[in-house]
Amino acid sequence: MKSYPKEQIQAYKEKNKQTGRLLIKCPDQPGIVSSVTQFLHKNEANIIESNQYTTDPQDGKFFMRIEFESSKLPEAEEELRNDFGSIADTFDMEWSLKGAYDVKKTAIFVSKELHCLRELLLEWQSGDLIADIKMVVSNHEDCKELVESFGLPFFHIPSNKDIRKQVEEKQLKLLKDYDIDLIVLARYMQILTPDFVAAHPFKIINIHHSFLPAFIGANPHKRAYDRGVKLIGATSHYVTNDLDEGPIIEQDIVRVDHRDSVNDLKKMGRSVERIVLARGVKWDLEDRLIVHENKTIVF
Amino acid sequence: MKSYPKEQIQAYKEKNKQTGRLLIKCPDQPGIVSSVTQFLHKNEANIIESNQYTTDPQDGKFFMRIEFESSKLPEAEEELRNDFGSIADTFDMEWSLKGAYDVKKTAIFVSKELHCLRELLLEWQSGDLIADIKMVVSNHEDCKELVESFGLPFFHIPSNKDIRKQVEEKQLKLLKDYDIDLIVLARYMQILTPDFVAAHPFKIINIHHSFLPAFIGANPHKRAYDRGVKLIGATSHYVTNDLDEGPIIEQDIVRVDHRDSVNDLKKMGRSVERIVLARGVKWDLEDRLIVHENKTIVF
Amino acid sequence: MKSYPKEQIQAYKEKNKQTGRLLIKCPDQPGIVSSVTQFLHKNEANIIESNQYTTDPQDGKFFMRIEFESSKLPEAEEELRNDFGSIADTFDMEWSLKGAYDVKKTAIFVSKELHCLRELLLEWQSGDLIADIKMVVSNHEDCKELVESFGLPFFHIPSNKDIRKQVEEKQLKLLKDYDIDLIVLARYMQILTPDFVAAHPFKIINIHHSFLPAFIGANPHKRAYDRGVKLIGATSHYVTNDLDEGPIIEQDIVRVDHRDSVNDLKKMGRSVERIVLARGVKWDLEDRLIVHENKTIVF
Amino acid sequence: MKSYPKEQIQAYKEKNKQTGRLLIKCPDQPGIVSSVTQFLHKNEANIIESNQYTTDPQDGKFFMRIEFESSKLPEAEEELRNDFGSIADTFDMEWSLKGAYDVKKTAIFVSKELHCLRELLLEWQSGDLIADIKMVVSNHEDCKELVESFGLPFFHIPSNKDIRKQVEEKQLKLLKDYDIDLIVLARYMQILTPDFVAAHPFKIINIHHSFLPAFIGANPHKRAYDRGVKLIGATSHYVTNDLDEGPIIEQDIVRVDHRDSVNDLKKMGRSVERIVLARGVKWDLEDRLIVHENKTIVF
């Protein structure tokens, strides 16, 4: 069992070795699509999936994601990027061009509630979440045995607000040592410092256990219960310095009723939290997300 | 077409002439159900549907709704009530016992947006919403023709904050003249005074065009757009003096994405608003709602 | 009220007078997108929305829908089409290029159940369904008053299986006289002959009151009740000669439970039927549907 | 980690040691509820949750589930049953009276696809599924390591149609040795013989990977793909001798679109299968299900 995902990731890389993904964000203007598709055509690329969006027909922003196959990949990846640079300059683009085979190195942070971690590990194990999970980090030891049963490294870094700086130093060192691309806060109950967040712009995904912006902050289920809502939700979002205010990636809800206690809400919330987080993480792993003005474009 | 609903309501009354509904709220204690069912048994009542709920096994509140058929109805309705009074006293109950044939006299208030009014009228016309609609009241004339095409009285009472008192006097007189049981605010954009609200405790249902408590107040769709949410919602609730803070009856949501403009959110919101309002109104009309501590029990 | 939608449609046409829609279906091959976007670029067109899909990276079919604004529209619509013809020939395309301002002339067929008709009329009246409704045709007179209250022509054509041929002749004449683009069967309970269907390929949309292919044929709600399903559904689809076997456009479901009688299922079904039909009709009106191998691509 | 669920189950038993559940099915007639509640009253029982349902006001079947707390439990459980027997006889009841502390001994059967097994194990491990899992049985060894990492016994019984009889003899012996109450077929791909099924009436729950009765039988996702459906589903049901025809417990669906391949449908189906199965299993474990005429009442 333990080596299964590694083999799966290898098979995925092999299968997608000629698959590239191009993400673009720029001021809208005539000729963008035409230039991009000519570039791909010239590079023997076959478009597999293409999505675009313009904020506003006039004076708007243009966004595009193209997944393509090119016989030049993976060898000429760097060359393709250089080549595309001049088009990007012409249209003043923010952009990235990467191989789908470049599976993201991922770290999962978790505290005592393990349902989100479990979901991610199982989706990963069954090959439905394509990540190169390098570590699970926790301020508690509750998940140590679980993580290690999946053959993954577990790091226990006890934390409290007095030693936050030292804790984050340890964490940052780990993230750097393993060259982490994506950090998933799978019910990690410690606040991150502005420095930590600033070091990973739109590379940290959190799950909040409410339908934001309702019940921002602590104890959302208790407050949902007190308000007598008929639906509870969960929100996955990129972390910015404003608590629970970062760009929303995905939300979903579950129906509750008057019979449900605060504990029932927590229990039912767990189902929707783990699904909303896993969905958001998958979209990031597949480079389907572009952030614009504190919102996400999901392609 | 015009007389159709009246005939339908007559047929409904005839079909349900022996159907009664008993609603109970009291401190939980042993023997309640036993006493109630003995009372019904003694009165030749056959239970059609029964629901109960206790807030807490110890020291809680007990709620019950029973729909029954009794050959003593409708003639002995008053007698049944008198008879039940002594049980009610024993257990310190708030309660009501009514005939299902006693269709609620209903007033609909509306302003310029007509989608909720239309839904209610169509559901009523097709016999899926059993109300005795006595009037539609508006501060505008946009819906006059629509309302009258359904054979219903329309009252135009222009309004603004300077003449609120006079407006409400006119409205209150109408409500009294027609002996109205239920007021539905189907996107009525005027604020009601505390006096008006206090005169109709848990008899006014409003639709709010957001998933409360998110986006309480004005312009929820604009604010939902700005926040970049992935779902928008609607909430039907009883009106109390705290704006958008009354007991929630029903909520639902619809998925949106980055392509949707504020106008799209409004358009998509209309679908869910009309459904959430109609559902809440039906439950009230069927006496399925009990209010407790600013929440609703939905039986 | 009556003239409202006509003004709305006029306003819509005015607002979209430079908006065009290009739909393409052809064998996948390199260079398609590049050629199309160059064509648009050359014609001063700004892409508003673009969707594409390929059935299979190798040896597949390619589908595309582009909505664009061009200052050459509406005057040069014919010229644009001629111009595009040579690209279309190169890539062996099935295609259409039309103005969004070319609102589809629509006929609605209905029998005795009116919920779907009502939904379409209300969505149309509130400007959320952009159709030029030319007529409502029925084999009964139940909806006559309703239809005429919306200011629309109503045609009563009684029908039974013995006079099917004569009935369809009358209907075909009407459809031809009004140059109808789209026929909506809004719970029209007569079977159409193969000739009638063949004369309107993928121009007839039907609503079936089950989640196809479950409960194909008659009495789906009775059969759903007997089977004890926990969800019931509805399906809108294009009509082909195989009963209930045409390309599915949209489906949705609603939860039911053991307490629901066959009549309850019918009632709950009505809510989902009208929504599923309206959604499908809107997509067709916006040219969002491409049929391929008895399936629909929904852009 | 391994001993966690056992402690949890112990804690659950301790917490619910005075909680009983009464299930009743009998011909409807006056006086049932009254007699039952008097019985409970006499036995110092406090009703926590009560549900009832009558198929038809006249000449129907009556169903009831009551969850109660009584200081006489668990000691006088047998005495309560004896006591209730005379009421049951009077009303010709099928019934059961059990302690909630009597956690069901459960066996899970699985083949090569493990997503449903994983869901059950994780829900069980987090205390959201209260079962006493005695064994996991498989005709393959794929899940051995997974099962044992949860501290549970795994039995590998290879199977094929030639040795079905011997295989079932082994299985039946295991089920008998461990006194199993509930068998869950979590994607177990072997057909059970009529004898095996007959030995466990309404004690075997299966998950079918379609929205029954659509796509009954093999390869539902391939057939759903070919038909071009817009939703796919899953169904949990009790197993009877008619393949996929047993009483439906729960169903749910997930939206798909034209871009989704057969493999995508399988992947998306897995999410809904595991949830639909887990929900059905929980309801059985909580004695919320009564079977009547090939349907389930879910209380």
The string of pLDDT tens digits covering residues A246-292 is: 999 999 999 999 989 999 999 889 989 999 999 999 999 999 999 99
Q: Does B294 touch chain A (CB under 8 A)?
A: yes
Residues in chain D with CB shorter than 8 Å from the CB of C213 are: 214-215, 227, 229
Residue-averaged pLDDT of chain D: 93
pLDDT of residue A299: 93
pLDDT digits (tens, 9 = 90+) for C181-226: 999 999 999 999 999 999 999 999 999 999 999 999 999 999 999 9
Q: Which residue of A has its CA nearest to D145?
A: A1
pLDDT of residue C58: 61
- The C-alpha of D8 sits at a distance from chain A's nearest C-alpha, in angstroms, of 15
| Residue in A132, A181, A244, A287 annotated catalytic | A244
End-to-end Cα distance, chain A: 33
Cβ <8 Å between C34 and A37: yes
Residues in chain A with CB shorter than 8 Å from the CB of C48 are: 54, 57
Question: Pick from D99, D121, D140: which residue ends a domain?
Answer: D99
A6 lies in some domain: no
Question: Pick from C50, C76, C99: which residue ends a domain?
Answer: C99
A8 lies in some domain: no
Q: Which residue of A has its CA nearest to C42?
A: A31
What SS3 state is found at C204?
A: strand
pLDDT of residue C2: 47
pLDDT of residue C41: 87
Is the domain of D132 the same as that of D168? Answer: yes
Integer Cα distance of D108 and D122 in angstroms: 13
Is the domain of B94 the same as that of B111? Answer: no
| B69: nearest CB among D45, D47, D57 | D57
Residue bearing the bigger pLDDT, B56 or C162:
C162
- The C-alpha of B207 sits at a distance from chain D's nearest C-alpha, in angstroms, of 28
Residue A7 banded pLDDT, cuts 50, 70, 90 = confident
Please state the rounded mean pLDDT for residues B18-42: 91
Residue A1 banded pLDDT, cuts 50, 70, 90 = very low
How many percent of chain D have pLDDT more than 90? 79
Q: Which of C222, C223, C220, C227 is nearest to C273 (CA)?
A: C220
Is the domain of B220 the same as that of B126? Answer: yes
Residue C160 banded pLDDT, cuts 50, 70, 90 = confident
Cβ <8 Å between D248 and C229: yes
pLDDT of residue D132: 96
What SS3 state is found at A69?
A: strand
pLDDT of residue C38: 87
Please state the rounded mean pLDDT for residues B226-241: 97
Virtual CA dihedral for D140, D144, D146, D149, nearest 10 degrees?
Answer: 170
pLDDT digits (tens, 9 = 90+) for B51-87: 888 887 666 899 999 999 999 999 999 999 999 999 9
Please state the rounded mean pLDDT for residues C261-283: 93
- The C-alpha of D243 sits at a distance from chain A's nearest C-alpha, in angstroms, of 28
Residue-averaged pLDDT of chain A: 93
pLDDT of B159 > 50? The answer is yes
Is residue B89 within 8 Å of B99, Cβ to Cβ? no
CATH code at position A93: 3.30.70.260
Is residue C223 within 8 Å of C233, Cβ to Cβ? no
Please state the rounded mean pLDDT for residues C98-127: 94
pLDDT of C114 > 70? The answer is yes
Please state the rounded mean pLDDT for residues B16-24: 97
- Structural domain that includes position A23: 17-99
Residues in chain C with CB shorter than 8 Å from the CB of D233 are: 231
C231 lies in some domain: yes
| C211: nearest CB among D214, D228, D248 | D214
B3 lies in some domain: no
Is the domain of A205 the same as that of A78? Answer: no
Q: Which residue of A has its CA nearest to B220?
A: A213
ipTM of the complex: 0.93
Q: Which residue of B has its CA nearest to A244?
A: B227
Please state the rounded mean pLDDT for residues C87-99: 97
Q: Which residue of B has its CA nearest to C129?
A: B267
Is the domain of C80 the same as that of C220? Answer: no
Output the CA–CA distances (angstroms, integers) from residue B157 to B111, B153, B193, in the order listed.
10, 13, 16
- The C-alpha of A86 sits at a distance from chain D's nearest C-alpha, in angstroms, of 33
Please state the rounded mean pLDDT for residues A215-244: 95
Please state the rounded mean pLDDT for residues C230-243: 95
Q: Does D215 touch chain C (CB under 8 A)?
A: yes
Integer Cα distance of C217 and D61 in angstroms: 30
| C145: nearest CB among B1, B259, B270 | B1
| Residue in D102, D142, D195, D244 annotated catalytic | D244
Which residues of B are annotated as catalytic?
A: 244
Q: Which residue of D has its CA nearest to C213?
A: D214
A225 lies in some domain: yes
Q: What angle do CA A152, A99, A134 make, to 5 degrees?
A: 10
Residues in chain B with CB shorter than 8 Å from the CB of A258 are: 53, 295-298
Residue bearing the bigger pLDDT, C126 or C3:
C126
Please state the rounded mean pLDDT for residues A9-17: 92
pLDDT of residue B250: 98
Is the domain of C53 the same as that of C75? Answer: yes
Cβ <8 Å between D228 and C296: yes
Cβ <8 Å between B257 and A298: yes
Is the domain of B22 the same as that of B82? Answer: yes
Beta bridge partners of C198: none
pLDDT of C57 > 70? The answer is no
| Residue in C28, C181, C244, C284 annotated catalytic | C244
pLDDT of residue A3: 52
| C267: nearest CB among B118, B128, B270 | B128
Is the domain of D165 the same as that of D229? Answer: yes
- The C-alpha of D152 sits at a distance from chain C's nearest C-alpha, in angstroms, of 33
Is the domain of B125 the same as that of B90? Answer: no
Q: How many CB atoms lie within 10 A of CB B201?
A: 11
Paired tokens of D295: 């349907």
pLDDT-wise least confident of C167-176, D33-42, D164-173, D227-236: D33-42
C11 lies in some domain: no
How many percent of chain C have pLDDT more than 70? 98
Paired tokens of A150: 């999946």
pLDDT of residue B197: 96
- Which chains neighbour A (Cβ–Cβ under 8 Å, 3 or more pairs)? B, C, D
Cβ <8 Å between C270 and B128: yes
CATH code at position A191: 3.40.50.170
Residue B239 banded pLDDT, cuts 50, 70, 90 = very high
Is the domain of C132 the same as that of C276? Answer: yes
Q: Does D115 touch chain A (CB under 8 A)?
A: yes
pLDDT digits (tens, 9 = 90+) for B106-138: 999 999 999 999 999 988 988 889 999 999 999
| D118: nearest CB among A122, A270, A271 | A122
Residue C149 banded pLDDT, cuts 50, 70, 90 = confident
pLDDT of A125 > 90? The answer is no
Q: Does C48 touch chain A (CB under 8 A)?
A: yes
Is residue D36 within 8 Å of D64, Cβ to Cβ? yes
Interface test with D, best of B18, B50, B55, B63 (most D CBs within 10 A): B50
Q: Does D120 touch chain A (CB under 8 A)?
A: no
pLDDT of residue C278: 96
Query: How many domains is chain A built from?
Result: 2
D143 lies in some domain: yes
pLDDT of residue D1: 43
List the helix and strand counts (H, then E) for chain C: 9, 13
Cβ <8 Å between D54 and B37: no
Q: Which residue of C has its CA nearest to D62?
A: C259
Contacts of B235 (CB under 8 A, 6+ apart): B207, B208, B210, B211, B212, B244, B248, B250, B251, B276
Q: Does C71 touch chain A (CB under 8 A)?
A: no
Is the domain of D84 the same as that of D66? Answer: yes
Beta bridge partners of D68: D20, D47
Q: Which of C135, C117, C129 is nearest to C172 (CA)?
A: C135
pLDDT of residue B58: 61
Cβ <8 Å between A34 and C34: yes
B23 lies in some domain: yes
Cis amide linkage into residue D213, ω under 30° from 0? yes
Question: Pick from D42, D66, D99: which residue ends a domain?
Answer: D99
Cβ <8 Å between D252 and C259: no
pLDDT digits (tens, 9 = 90+) for C63-76: 999 999 999 999 99
Cβ <8 Å between A54 and C48: yes
pLDDT of C1 > 80? The answer is no
Residue D278 banded pLDDT, cuts 50, 70, 90 = very high
Residue bearing the bigger pLDDT, B58 or D264:
D264
Residue B33 banded pLDDT, cuts 50, 70, 90 = confident
Q: Does A212 touch chain B (CB under 8 A)?
A: yes
pLDDT of A58 > 70? The answer is no
Residue-averaged pLDDT of chain C: 93
Cβ <8 Å between A213 and B227: yes
pLDDT of C15 > 50? The answer is yes
Paired tokens of C56: 């299979």
pLDDT of residue B1: 43
> How big is the A-B interface in CB pairs under 8 Å?
67
Cβ <8 Å between B298 and A247: no
Beta bridge partners of D290: D297
Is the domain of B29 the same as that of B167? Answer: no
Please state the rounded mean pLDDT for residues B268-280: 93
